[in-house]
Amino acid sequence: MKITIDNLNGLGAVDYTRSIALEGPITIQRALNVPSRCTADIVLEDAIIPVRYARVVVTADDATVLFTGYVATEPVRIYVGDATTGPLYRARMTAVSDEWLLDKLGSGAGVRGGSLLPLNASSLLNTLTTRVQVAGSAGISLSGATLTRPLGTFQPKPASAWSTNAGNAASAAYAGYRAMSGGVTLQTAGGTTHALSDADGTLSIAELQTNAVRELANDVTLSGAEEPAAYITENFIGDGTTTAFELSGEAFRGTDRTLLLDSFNEAVFDASQWTITDPGSHLSLTSTGLTMSGGTGADGQTTLAALDAIEMGGSLVAQLGGVVFGTASDGMIAGMYQGATELANCFAGFRVRQSSGVTVLVPVINGAEVGTVFTPVAGHTYALRLRLHCVEMQRVMQLYYCMVDGTIESFGSSSGVSAPMDVVFDLIDEGAASNTPATVLYDSAASSGPITSTPATCAFVVANSTQLYGSVASVSVTRPGSLWVVSTLPSGTLQTRLIGHAGQGLDCEATYGTGSGQTSVGTPGKVTFYAGRVPVADERIAVTYRSHQRSVARLQNAASVAAEAAGAAPGTCRWLGKVLQPVARSSADCEAAAQAVLAFATSRTAAVAGTYACVNPATDVWPGDVLAITSAGVTSSLLVRSVAVEDGHAAPEVLSYKIKFANDWATEWADGIGLKLSEEIAADAILPQTALDSPAEVLANLQQLSVTSLTETTLGVDAGTALPSGWGVEVRRSDSQFGVGVDATDLVQRSPVRSFTIPRAAQIERYYMRLYDNSTPPLYSRFSSAIFVNAPVS
């Protein structure tokens, strides 16, 4: 090996090879998806002690670069003896690979944490790197990170170093990153194979140590995060005086609540939140905030967009504060885009344009104008709010990868979850009295109903300036939770009741209740209406939200169970655990993770771990490579987890490689690649009693089930979807054990038609409904759609 060190003293890279002590040779430690380290003992009689930040480069005699990095800490002086000139010392140097520079700058997580989605492996790594290099240029290039394997959601850890998050991101894609020569590369695990065989002499059996470290598992139960469960709509009848309506339980809220927040009060745009495209320098930050002074005249060429995509699930509120409109403006503000930033791709946003020489504001849905055209008053400031509500909280499913016999397999769906959305556009004049009602420009509930075809994710663009003039003082995008309120006036008119804080011209505030999980006891949620917004007599208030439970799944490999049965021994080998990463946000995600676990836990080679030592291999070996070892005619694919390279102080060069390998089922639980597990299960998980052979075969949930009428004697219900012949809706009084012949005392009815009525018998009633088909036995929806009623009966 040759080692050069640049001590930043103007002498450049100095060759330290001859100063390396025999007792402390150059050693490079590599592990999968963590920084590499290089250590060496330097004889101080011959060389200057390296300084912190010194640049270290190690190459082989054939010019292969083995390590590049930096001295991260001051070398340690080690006493080695005495000479006639006095005590002798060596300096023990430790250098860390190039990503050390990125680690010093941060984690790569956003200022508010949250999830990144949906990205491929390279895009995710690029986002993490872009964020930390905002703090200070580390000069690290990602030109070698080109792996486009898709991922679901990823949750970086704000308190962790860049390398930890980058390593987790690479692992989620079943890949390995490495930082060298000023760049980061990303390569699929198993992308390089080293063939070793005892038949041709390339394999030394004496240096190969293998063992199966874990028994097979063919019946796997996994728990994940809290998930939204039943689709609940609680119905109340107003009396003109009641202001507070208490819900029956807690509403699912989720964790990512503040997605974006910026007051535009800094000298430059926050590059950790925004990406700006502005060839004509028309967007700037001034004392009034984001200031727009025209554009190129072309749609999509002058934009300020959020760096991260937004999952279109639950309730979303995008708010622009302190908005001032200038004359002759044209463009879009507060737009949610699916695809390129162009009007045709705008799912929802505010259009600013000219009408008879006057600047007007009009809502846009799916590229077309809807609702009321509003004319701002010159010189007034406004707060604009775009409200979105989807009954599905999770629109992006998780993907899990594993390696089985050298082949990478994936489990889970990369397609988005289909779901309708309600949309409301409203605004207030910030100079008006605090009790002035908000002006609603468009309300889907009062118009044509929910938007049926909606994107799973969108890019949020604060300003798309074709020719915008004006300013925006602040912006926020929040996800309050799953709760949404729509009321029906005695006249039959529907209106969305606007939720928020008092003094914003809104209708009510909502609390979600306290506590979480199935075993905890908390207070229920509540909707409280403000003075002047109290529901009138006979006004029906429908509060829609999701209940919650612990996600869990249990799957088995029936073929393995049969194959493992021998004599009196059962063939079932159960294993229970928790999914740590990538996060399983739903039972469907848990099923995909369980499929991945079964794929490798039922393979005998997946439980193999061991070591191999060799000298001067034909090519350099890195963690993430595969050793294809053929012994006695049998080939096994073994995934390299760590490599130690040591210089032999010889000429010709002798490089000793000590390799540790372990396939997926042979690792420590938290050290998995595509899937990190914990050998425990959530305490509040209700364990499935029966193992499924494949992900649950379920019908679509009744996402759009609704109440069509509520009287003192009957409840009218619309399933919200057409029912094929032989299909129906099963109605029960409790959310358990749906099925033919199950607990008839709990059954209310089975309706073979879409619209049906339920006779009322009490003021407080609860009904749970699921779709079923005509198979034997019938399939059902995964979750119930529930209607709770608190209204007088005759």
pLDDT bracket for residue 566 (50, 70, 90): confident
pLDDT bracket for residue 398 (50, 70, 90): very high
**Who contacts 521 (Cβ-Cβ below 8 Å, separation ≥6)?**
515
Task: Please check the confidence at residue 518 and state whether its pLDDT lies above 50.
Answer: no
Strand partners, 180: 183
The pLDDT tens digits for 704-758 are: 999 999 999 999 999 999 999 999 999 999 998 899 888 888 999 999 999 999 9
The answer to whether 286 and 457 are in contact (CB under 8 A) is no
Tally helices (H) and strands (E) across the chain.
Answer: 5, 51
At which residue do the structure tokens 């390339």 appear?
202
Backbone angles phi, psi at 406, to 5 degrees: 85, 0
Which tokens belong to 230?
């039943």
Please give the Cα distance from 146 to 161 (Å, whole number): 22
Which tokens belong to 265?
């009060």
The pLDDT tens digits for 184-216 are: 999 999 999 999 998 888 999 999 998 887 888
Task: Please check the confidence at residue 517 and state whether its pLDDT lies above 60.
Answer: no
**Who contacts 85 (Cβ-Cβ below 8 Å, separation ≥6)?**
none
**Who contacts 744 (Cβ-Cβ below 8 Å, separation ≥6)?**
none
Task: Please check the confidence at residue 28 and state whether its pLDDT lies above 90.
Answer: yes
Taking the CA atoms of the chain, what radius of gyration do you get in angstroms? 31
Please give the Cα distance from 592 to 590 (Å, whole number): 5
Most confident of 181-185, 373-377, 433-437, 512-516: 373-377
Task: Please check the confidence at residue 593 and state whether its pLDDT lies above 50.
Answer: yes
Instruction: Determine the residue type at 591.
Output: E
pLDDT bracket for residue 57 (50, 70, 90): very high
The pLDDT tens digits for 477-486 are: 999 999 999 9
Q: Is the dihedral of CA 502, 504, 507, 511 positive or negative?
A: negative
Please give the Cα distance from 535 to 485 (Å, whole number): 12
Please give the Cα distance from 753 to 489 (Å, whole number): 27
The pLDDT tens digits for 636-682 are: 999 999 999 999 999 899 999 999 999 988 877 667 889 999 988 99
At which residue do the structure tokens 């006779």 appear?
759
pLDDT bracket for residue 595 (50, 70, 90): very high
Q: What is the pTM of this model?
A: 0.93
Mean pLDDT value across residues 770-783: 96
Mean pLDDT of the chain: 93
**Who contacts 302 (Cβ-Cβ below 8 Å, separation ≥6)?**
277, 278, 279, 280, 282, 283, 295, 296, 331, 463, 464, 465, 466
Tell the burial category of 666 from Cβ atoms under 10 Å away from its Cβ (0-12, 13-18, 19+): buried
Which tokens belong to 373?
């055209």
Q: Residue 467 in 3-state DSSP?
A: strand
pLDDT bracket for residue 11 (50, 70, 90): very high
Residue in 465, 153, 439 with CA at minimum distance from that of residue 328: 465
At which residue do the structure tokens 């850890």 appear?
157
Percentage of the chain beyond pLDDT 70 is 98
Residue in 238, 229, 228, 227 with CA at minimum distance from that of residue 542: 238
Higher pLDDT pick, 211 / 537: 537
Please give the Cα distance from 282 to 280 (Å, whole number): 6
Cis preceding-peptide flag for 25 (omega within 30 of 0): no
Mean pLDDT value across residues 11-29: 94
pLDDT bracket for residue 135 (50, 70, 90): low
Query: Picking from 23-37, 240-254, 503-517, 776-790, which range would have the lowest pLDDT averaged per residue?
Result: 503-517
Mean pLDDT value across residues 490-502: 94
Which tokens belong to 523?
């207070």
